[in-house]
Amino acid sequence: MSLQLVIGDKRYSSWSLRAALALELAGASYSEILIVLNQPDTAQRIALHSPTGKVPLLKTAEGPVWDSLAIVEYLAEQHPELWPQDTYARAVARSVCAQMHSGFASLRTHMPMDLQRDQPLAHMPAEVAIDIQVVCALWAECRAAFAQDGPFLFGQPSAADAFYAPVASRLRSYQVELPPEARAYVETIYNWPAFQRWYNAAQEEQFG
């Protein structure tokens, strides 16, 4: 059985994007099962595939793997290049992914991913501005410490970039003013061919 990735709308589903970018980084061959979100039958259709009722979910020959962090770790077992080679850099990359996975709730709530959007928030809550400051500082710290050989967070593209690509997209979609280092990283994500393929497909979506 070839890998199958169950995803939501490419325009909106940030967690699906993370898993897809990880598969691209691994060079894995896979097909997609796309479920349109926010429809009367969405929950029912996702439940046919996912024990948690959420996307993404990766179907493998052994069985399903759900949650984007678990999908990344499953792929990294076979493709360790998803994480930086250096032991400490690898630990930091895992740390920043976990921070994204469980944190920045205000940013994700008030600025949901919408890859067809191109306008700022009418009003940016203070807690969102704080989240953005933390993200920009985190990016700058990773780049300063670990990015000697490339423009991504740890130099070469890694799972950390898969996790922060949806954040970069939010900052551009909502026209957030950024410091130069953060602005350059957003540009790096938008020039990443794996992200471009998803982004271009999202522009074609007319449902959801």
Tens of pLDDT along 106-143?
A: 999 999 999 999 999 999 999 999 999 999 999 999 99
Classify strands 3-7 and 30-34 as parallel, antiparallel or unpaired: parallel
Answer CATH for 3-80 from 3.90.190.20, 3.40.190.10, 3.40.30.10, 3.30.56.10: 3.40.30.10
What is the band of 1 on the pLDDT scale with cuts at 50, 70, 90? low
Give the start-to-end residue ranges of the domains of the chain: 3-80, 84-195
Segment 39-89, tens digit of pLDDT = 999 999 999 999 999 999 999 999 999 999 999 999 999 999 999 999 999
Q: Who's near 12: CB < 8 A, 6+ residues apart? A: 37, 112, 113, 114, 115, 208
- Cα-atom radius of gyration of the chain, to the nearest Å? 17
User: Tokens 């990294």, residue?
Assistant: 76
Cα angle: 99, vertex 100, 106; to 5 degrees: 105
pLDDT at 199: 98
Residue 208 has pLDDT above 50, yes or no: no
Task: Say which CATH class 84-195 falls into.
Answer: mainly alpha
Cα–Cα distance, 103 to 154 (Å, whole number): 20
> DSSP label at 150?
S
pLDDT band at 5 (very low <50, low <70, confident <90, very high): very high
User: According to the model, what pLDDT value does residue 207 have?
Assistant: 66
